[in-house]
Amino acid sequence: MTGLITALIQTGVIDPKANSNAVPPVNTAVTHASGPPASPSPNAENDHYKALIGKWEVIEERSPEFGGAKITWLYDAAVSGNVLTLTGKMHAFNGKDLSPEQKGIRSTYVTTMMGSTGVGEFKKTEKGVTMSYPATIRFEDDQSTLHGTIDIKGQQACSLMGRKL
């Protein structure tokens, strides 16, 4: 805008001392200043995340303060823009078959990706009750593995290691 106004003043279309109601001459040529160079398309970054779509196996290791369990989850990953959603269910608990009660445990990660890191939340639904906790996920450069954390009551409760199947 500044460039356009400057050009209009310099070409006499606008007189800085004139009445603002003045009408400019009819055949005045105006040179428009070029704008800033186009930035890369946001779709380029979002297309990068499409490689995350698919099946994932994620091992959740709880710290001793939170039970010290090792849980294997199987997830389906979906991407919308820069939002990654992992939806799945518990597959194994401490390397053993699941009890009927555990087979119904489901969880979802919803993270907003910025580069190779996603920040969001982990939601676990057990016996009809959903609990939500802050979570962070970081993908390796090849996007075939992930590392992450889940925080409970302000401290790291679980570490995550995952791989694309």
* Residue 10 pLDDT > 80: no
Question: Under CATH, which number does the domain 48-164 receive?
Answer: 2.40.128.120
Q: Mean pLDDT score of the chain, rounded to an integer? A: 81
DSSP string, 118-150: EEEEEEEEETTEEEEEEEEEEE-TTSSEEEEEE
* Residue 152 pLDDT > 50: yes
Beta bridge partners of 102: none
| pLDDT score of 17 | 57
Q: What's the rounded Cα separation, in Å, for the pair 115 and 136?
A: 13
| pLDDT score of 102 | 79
**Burial label, 107 (beta-carbon count in 10 A; 0-12, 13-18, 19+):** buried
Confidence tier at 11 by pLDDT (50, 70, 90): low
Domain borders along the chain are 1-35, 48-164
* Residue 32 pLDDT > 50: no
CB atoms within 10 A of CB 100: 6
* Residue 151 pLDDT > 90: yes
* Residue 45 pLDDT > 60: no
* Residue 62 pLDDT > 80: yes
* Residue 61 pLDDT > 80: yes
The residue with greater pLDDT, 140 or 5, is 140
**Token pair recorded at residue 78:** 């979906």
Tokens 């939002």 — which residue? 83
| pLDDT score of 97 | 81
**Token pair recorded at residue 156:** 């790291």
- For 84-130, write each residue's pLDDT tens digit: 999 999 999 998 888 777 778 899 999 999 999 999 999 998 888 99
Of the candidates 45, 37, 33, the one whose C-alpha atom is nearest the C-alpha of residue 6 is 33
